[in-house]
Amino acid sequence: MKVDADVSRFLKHLGSERRLSPRTVVAYRKDLRDLANFLDEHHGGRRWEWGTVERIDFRGFMGWCGRRGLTRRTVARKLSAVRAFYRFLHLEDRVPNDPVRTLRSPKLEKRLPGHANSSDIEAVFSRAEARAAENGFRGTRNLVILELLYGSGLRLSELHGLDLEDLDLGQGQAKVFGKGSKERLVPITGSAKRAIGRYLPRRSEVASVSRAPDHAAVILNPAGKRLSRRSIQYVVRGFLEDAAPGEGLSAHSLRHSFATHLLDAGADLMAVKELLGHVSLSTTQVYTHTSKERLRQVYRRSHPRS
């Protein structure tokens, strides 16, 4: 799709005014490109305008996506992007009405977030601490990665973007930038502070021999550059796969585990919401379902009449 003026303004609005991440803006662009491809096909190559698209056309778009094997969750996400685009066009008086506003998204199955149980977490940190005790660069760094993802509930992107100036080890907290570049303070556990203290000298050694070190980033690769998201994911998957083989756990699973274990221990839901940086309480409430599901599983396994 050749990006027309309306789409271009919308994407600029997402980046500069709503301050969404570049990756999110790219996803919106792809979703609108798919809509435009459908409309080209639907109209048989005849000219169409955003203002002439009707509600029935969007239903056709949903069916078109389904025939291409996209899941309901993906179709719902694309429809969300289209809704945002038409809301923007309507506010800018580019279309007379918003035909997507009353369109229902596909009904989604409830999917509980994957997380590690307490014994798996103990196994992960036992192995990571043993490697960090060797006082090498990778071992000390990898323990910091795990401590911050699980101990502070960071998103992968938040850890990747964390800079040294964001750490306040004296106060035991860190400043992170979440979705939409929203800033929040998260606590740093005592074990994370100790891990960071052991890692920083090894980090300095790596940076000192690098030709162009990244002086800002907390998490570095052996070349002295900011460690990529893919590499962080690779490190975490390795530890989780050893502790819980076949479960398919990832770096984000540590964030899920952080929230689930807090709620299991009686933490207040609103407090967990703030720690996670969620905008809506309903986003955090999914973790209460996780806890309830675990109780049901324990009941079914343990009660003689279950």
Inter-axis angle of helices 229-243 and 118-132, nearest 10? 120
Task: List, in sequence order, every beta strand (DSSP E) within the chain.
Answer: 167-168, 173-177, 183-187
Cα dihedral across residues 231, 228, 278, 70: positive or negative: negative
Number of other CB atoms surrounding residue 251 within 10 Å: 24
At position 237, the amino acid (one-letter code) is R
Q: Annotated catalytic sites, by residue? A: 155, 179, 252, 255, 278, 287
Cα–Cα distance between 186 and 247 in angstroms, integer? 28
Cα–Cα distance between 278 and 258 in angstroms, integer? 14
DSSP H or E segment with residue 144: helix 137-151
Residue 4, SS3 per DSSP: coil
